[in-house]
A and B are shown apart, each in its own frame.
Chain A
Amino acid sequence: MVELVLFFLMAAGALAGALTVIFAKNPIHAAMGLFGTLFSLAVMYVVNLAHLMAAVQVIVYAGAVMTLFLFVIMLIGVDKTEDMSEQLPFQRKLVIGLAVIIVGLGGGLAFGGRLAWTPLSKPDGLFPNGTIQAIAERLFTGWVLAFEVTALLLTIAAAGAIALAQFRRREVEE
């Protein structure tokens, strides 16, 4: 019962946030909408026993990433004059067609009784509790290679961001 109420509350919050992102004229409002969606999803993670991921979602996404977004919005100025006229032919028709197809598929799934979920393996009723210890045990045993690769990826991303800033400075000096 608690999960049902939380699901509908947080689904409404997430959807409202997502629609704010794509309809807001002001980028700061869009960022706030994204923040609302991320926070609603974090609550859903807690309901699904992913406690560590919920904390990481709030700290990394709603904290660091959103701060970075707001920082860049302030840096390049709030641009409300977005030209909504299409320059690619057929794109608007394509979007409308795509939207109709996807909404039709989603509605068909929802009302066709396909919301029932058949798990791959028979669950033993013990839902995995996503505590720090449990996640760390899984991460450092089965997924240790992927973990190392993400370390490499983060190093490359940091170096790339520094390089992007560095190129500008050289141009100005010349």
Chain B
Amino acid sequence: MIVTAGWYMTLAAVLFTVGLLGILVRRNALIMFMCVELMLNAVNLTFVAAGRANSTLDGQVAVFFVLVVAAAEVVVGLAIIVAIFRNRSTASVDELAELRG
């Protein structure tokens, strides 16, 4: 059996779904954030696999840019979580649903 790009696509789809379910089910803002990272990485895997199947380097360059955006997102997101936690002493998104200060 030869591992085709479709196998990687399927694995990426499953990982993406797991991340999406985590965001829908969990309440802890940190865990939801990790699920976003999971989804980003699932997409990265599709880029790498498709780039190899199409004999192009552009897939890997796209992964590079997704990594940069994810790093920027982590910096700002975690700063927001810490700022919220200092104000409200909770990281549960349900308790932050009301936008009262």
A residues adjacent to B (C-beta < 8 A):
3-4, 7, 11, 14-15, 18-19, 21-22, 24, 27, 30-31, 34, 37-38, 41, 44-45, 48-50, 52-53, 56-57, 60-61, 64-65, 68-69, 72-73, 75-76, 79, 82-84, 87, 91, 94-95, 98-99, 102-103, 106, 109-110, 114-117, 119-121, 123-128, 130, 134-135, 138-139, 142-143, 146, 150, 153-154, 156-158, 160-161, 164-165, 167-168
- B-side contacts of A22, CB under 8 Å: 18-19, 21-22, 25-26, 31, 35
B30, A73: Cβ atoms under 8 Å?
A: yes
- A-side contacts of B1, CB under 8 Å: 4
Asked whether A79 and B53 contact (CB < 8 A) given A38-B41, A68-B74, the answer is no
Bitwise, B34-70 to A at CB < 8 A (1) or not (0) is: 1101100100110011011111111111011101111
B55, A127: Cβ atoms under 8 Å?
A: yes
7 closest cross-chain pairs (CB), A and B: A22-B22, A157-B72, A115-B6, A123-B55, A117-B5, A164-B79, A161-B79
B8, A44: Cβ atoms under 8 Å?
A: yes
Contact among B52, B69, B80 for A48, CB-based, below 8 A:
B52
27 chain-A/chain-B pairs, Cβ below 8 angstroms = A7-B7, A22-B21, A30-B30, A38-B37, A41-B41, A45-B63, A50-B48, A53-B60, A65-B71, A69-B33, A76-B30, A83-B92, A95-B21, A102-B17, A106-B17, A115-B7, A117-B6, A117-B9, A117-B53, A124-B55, A125-B55, A138-B57, A143-B65, A154-B72, A157-B73, A165-B79, A167-B83
A106, B15: Cβ atoms under 8 Å?
A: no
- A-side contacts of B76, CB under 8 Å: 157, 160-161, 164
A53, B63: Cβ atoms under 8 Å?
A: yes
Contact among B9, B79, B81 for A160, CB-based, below 8 A:
B79
